[in-house]
Amino acid sequence: MRKSSARAIAIAMGICVAGSALAADRPVPYWASITAGDALLRTGPGRDYPATWRYRRANLPVIVLQVHESWRRVRDFEGSEGWMAAVLLSAERTAMVVGSVQPLRGAPSTASRLLWRVAPGVVGKIRHCGDGWCEFSVGGKSGYIQTTGLWGVGAKEVVD
């Protein structure tokens, strides 16, 4: 029993290392989201560097600017930059509504039916972005929002 448990742990560790290696191979910059509800932003790539900011909200989008081993230099929506452990980041795409209240529409068109209005600071998941629009979902509601009202996706970026 111990031998099979040790083997399962070794396999799981190998999968985690392989996943980290894939993330390190991504070209920078790239978008990511904070997975933890308590994540520290540090002045350098390591636990010995002082923390400058504590994020207490999961799913916040960040842009990864640099990769160093298991650390990522990131920038948040306010422009704060620092280093975060890669295990605190996810490839799941999220975005934050910025500027003013944004209309969430039934289709990717300003002529489409208005479903909801989304306040600045709201974070949601994004899917299928293109032509200046993203499918945006938050709190069980989804629709289309223009990329100009979001931080977490490039204005002309295509997300499949």
List the CATH number of the domain containing 42. Answer: 2.30.30.40
Residue 77 lies in a domain: yes
Strand order in the sheet with 39-42: 51-55, 39-42, 81-85, 71-75, 61-68, 30-34, 89-90
Look at the chain and report how many structural domains it folds into: 2
The verdict on 76 and 101 lying in the same domain is: no
State the residue range of the domain holding 129. 95-151
pLDDT tens, position by position, 7-24: 433 434 443 433 343 356
The verdict on 86 and 32 lying in the same domain is: yes
The verdict on 53 and 88 lying in the same domain is: yes
**Whole-angstrom Cα distance, residue 7 to residue 9?**
5
Out of 47, 62, 92, a domain closes at: 92
Read off the pLDDT of each residue in 57-84 and give the average, rounded to a whole number. Answer: 97
The verdict on 111 and 74 lying in the same domain is: no
The verdict on 77 and 106 lying in the same domain is: no
Residue 5 lies in a domain: no
The verdict on 76 and 111 lying in the same domain is: no
Residue 8, phi then psi, degrees to nearest 5: -65, -40
Within 10 A of 125 (CB to CB), how many other CB atoms are there?
17
Residue holding tokens 């509601």?
Answer: 141
DSSP 147: G
pLDDT tens, position by position, 88-99: 999 999 999 999
**Whole-angstrom Cα distance, residue 27 to residue 150?**
22
Out of 55, 73, 92, a domain closes at: 92
User: Is the pTM above the cut of 0.85?
Assistant: no
**Whole-angstrom Cα distance, residue 4 to residue 136?**
44
The verdict on 107 and 82 lying in the same domain is: no
Task: Supply the mean pLDDT for the chain.
Answer: 88
Out of 92, 114, 142, a domain closes at: 92
Closest CA to 60 of 79, 77, 46, 44: 77
